Structure 1
Amino acid sequence: MSRTQPSNGALTSLESALAALLDGLAPIAPSQLPLDRALGRIAAEMPSLAHARPARNTAMTDGWACRALDLAGASAYSPLPLMAVPVWVETGDAMPEGCDCVLEIDLVDSTGPIVQALAEAVPGQGVRRAGEDMEAGGPIVIAGQRLTAVDLLVARSVEVGELAVRAPLVHVIDVGAASGETFTAHLVADSARASGATVSDIETVARDTASIAKALDDRACDLIILIGGTGAGRADATAEALAARGALIAHNIALQPGRTAAIGRLDAVPIIALPGAPDQALAAFLALVQPVIDRLSGRSARRDATLPLARKISSTVGLAEIALLKQGQDRWEPLAIGDFSLDAMRLADAWLAIPSGSEGYPTGTSVGAFALRDPR
């Protein structure tokens, strides 16, 4: 791939920048993680379930295991004598041979010399049938999906102690630390972890070309993210350092916020340099970093939620703009576009990328937005 930088003043479209980052990028090899470390990771392919669950009919509630046919006609007004005392079962117990239903504790009277049923039942009442939870041959986890607490419950129920996941290793280099902007690096690192990646550490480097370029050496990782030093200030040397290493693909993206972001590649490892301001870093993370992590982790396409806009959104033609939205009563309420306050960032439920060729959307337009919290 060619390493070229637009001329001064030129902007690279978001679409072109993203295509360059994803070009030839494949999901990483899966690894095994114990269940207590797998939550939030992206599941990889695993062998199918060998046996159906449960293996036998089991009780769904505490009570008396009976045969439904033996209870025909029983009621509180006309108790039915039983030939033998039913077997007591607890939730999860295997059903005794010949029993196909469970009666609650107060529906069998065993206080007298003759045990009596006080209610009828239908076959299967209070019973989870064999194979009803999971069929043999089905997947233990859904490859490409983010692992949730329910996925871990399923794994434990089938006695699986480790899950196959793809968790890209991300190295974060904080160029903005010298200006006291370390909180932005933590924002990015935390966002990467929430996307299913593993962050090795946050390295702090001086804001000069040689130091930044040296920090790129010998990084055994799947993605490098630099924070800060991407602007046109005298101390902004990140893009220059990428160019010095022959890694720069583009600097200055037609993206708002996040225009000064830069992208590159060192051998097969993609590099994304984000601005040091929190709102610009967040927008560029959503637009550039998150798709790369998704590709590396083999994640399925993210689900968007489509709702009408509570009010119009105006956008600048020629720039892809990121809007933050809050979900109201069946509508998206725009909070910010092109410039985010911390308040808007913490209150937002979802985000929307407005294409560079659009002037925005009128009130009532249905738009698909991606969740910011607990995304599936």
Structure 2
Amino acid sequence: MTQRLPSSLTPLEIALTALLNGLEPLAPVELPLSDAAGCIAAGTALFTAHPPHDVAAADGWALRANDLVGASSYSPLPLTKEPQWVEAGEAMPAGCDCVLDADAVEVSGPLVQVLAEGAPGQGVRRAGGDIGEHTAVVVAGRPVTPATLLLARVAGVGKLSLRRPRLRLVNVPGATATTHLIAEIARAAGLHVEMHEAGARAAASIAEAVTDDACDLVVTIGGSGVGRHDAAVTALAERGEVLAHGLALQPGRTAAVARLGNVPAVALPGSPDAALAAWLAVVLPLVDRLSARQRRRQIALPLSRKIASSVGIAEIALLAEEHKTWRPLAVGEWPFQAMAGADAWLLISGNHEGFAAGEPVDAYLMRE
């Protein structure tokens, strides 16, 4: 297929449709919890109750609350024997339903006195209080979070069924800083990232690093423009079929999309702002399709000031949350400082002129 240079821009929707056409979710894999963070759950896991029985929530004396009515430092309640001492996490003794602090019971030789009342459940973690029986903690299509992993560990689960796309990330010389940015974002999103270096900014060298072996997605960084040393798109054309080069997207208009056999590929620009914008607008939909991820959550807030957008090209606005509004930081052109301070991003379609101040907009969070 003949390359389309950035002077003839392909609408973002058309490029995405071509790239996603026929693409199916990956088969689930069983992964240990150490590799599961950020991955998308392939099934809904029901955990058993935790704790399985009442346990002490703190160190102290295990007693029965009804036996302690009226006890105080002014009216100590004598006991015939010393109550059982429990450590946090230990099973509660039979008949006991509260745990009193160490200084609430006074032991002096054979004399044992309680100096405070107790309430049922005080100092006790009830059976099923942390995880209810058959609770759906891991939900199909949702990311595995650190909190999810905590629940899995305390429930004794060692592996989870997940979808984890394998990303082959190719650094074209001159784009190393951007490559590290994308690699870190990809790992946080649960992708398995394998980084490769092209030997030079030449099509033959880049093509050697661009293969569809043992990966589900190929992304090149740098060399996607039309300069004399920009050869990433030529390398993709040698390896497969370039679907579009030059997208109606700002930042990111020199990005390209391709297919290497059945494996989708995206050429991201070397500039960090353009690469990140194309990652959000083009690569994330790919990752979500491969992962069978549920729709990403959006947050609706009114704009603190208007956003003007050019008709005919999709633009991405960076937003910061401020006093329950979205404050625009940058539109179309992104200073690196705006990238670092952004809380969310908003994709403005090519047929939209922008938004008025005070108008609610649905934005995607930069970090979920």
Equivalent in the alignment of 2:286: 292
Query: Deviation digits for residues 114-145 of structure 1, max 9, x if unmatched?
Result: 32222222322221221222123223533333
1:41/1:196 contact within 8 Å kept: yes
1:1-376 equivalences in 2 (<5 Å): 9-45=7-43, 47-49=45-47, 51-111=48-108, 113-175=110-172, 177=173, 180-372=174-366, 375-376=367-368
Corresponding letter in the other structure for 2:349: P
Give how far 1:35 is off: 3.0
What is the total number of aligned residue pairs between the two structures?
368
Q: Deviations over 1:23-77 (max 9, x none)?
A: 232322233333333333333326532x321111111122111112211232332
Is this contact kept in 1: 2:167–2:218, CA < 8 A? yes
Partner secondary structure for residue 201 of structure 1: strand
Please identify which structure carries the higher strand content: 2
User: Residue deviations 1:85-122, cap 9 Å, x none?
Assistant: 21111111100011111122222222264322222223
RMSD: 2.3
**Letter of the structure 2 residue corresponding to residue 258 of structure 1:** G
Deviation digits for residues 237-274 of structure 1 (CA, Å, limit 9, x no counterpart): 33334344441111211100111211111222111111
SS at match of 1:324: strand
Distance 1:110 1:221 in 2: 68
Equivalents in 2 of 1:15, 1:218: separation in Å?
25
Instruction: Label 1:9 to 1:90 Cα distance change in 2 as closer, same or farther (>3 A).
Output: same
If the length of structure 2 is used for normalisation, what is the TM-score? 0.91
In structure 2, distance between residues paired with 1:14 and 1:264: 14
Distance 1:80 1:215 in 2: 79
Contact 1:195 1:294 (C-alpha < 8 Å) held by counterparts: no
Structure 1 stretches lacking a partner, 5+ long: none
8 A Cα contact 2:6 2:254, kept in partner: no
Asked if structure 2 preserves the Cα contact closer than 8 Å seen for 1:108 and 1:116, the reply is yes
Q: Could you say what secondary structure the match of 1:344 adopts?
A: helix
Residue ranges of structure 2 left out of the alignment (5+ in a row): none
Q: Which moved more, 1:92-101 or 1:136-145?
A: 136-145
SS at match of 1:48: strand
SS in 2 for 1:292: helix
Per-residue CA deviations over 1:161-211 (Å, capped at 9, x if unaligned) read 333332211111233x1xx23222222222221221111122214334444
Q: Whole-Å Cα distance in 1 between the matches of residues 324 and 179 of structure 2?
A: 35
Distance in structure 1 (CA, Å) of the matches to 2:141 and 2:274: 29
Partner amino acid for 1:19? T
| Counterpart residue identity of residue 175, structure 2 | E
Residue identity opposite 2:253 in structure 1 = R
Could you tell me how far apart the structure 2 residues matched to 1:168 and 1:339 are? 30
User: Would you say the 8 A contact 1:65–1:89 is kept in 2?
Assistant: yes
Secondary structure at 2:136 match in 1: coil
* Cα deviation, residue 326, structure 1: 1.9
CA positional deviation for 1:282:
1.0
Contact 1:213 1:244 in 2 (8 A): yes
Does the 8 Å CA contact 1:195/1:290 hold for their aligned counterparts?
no
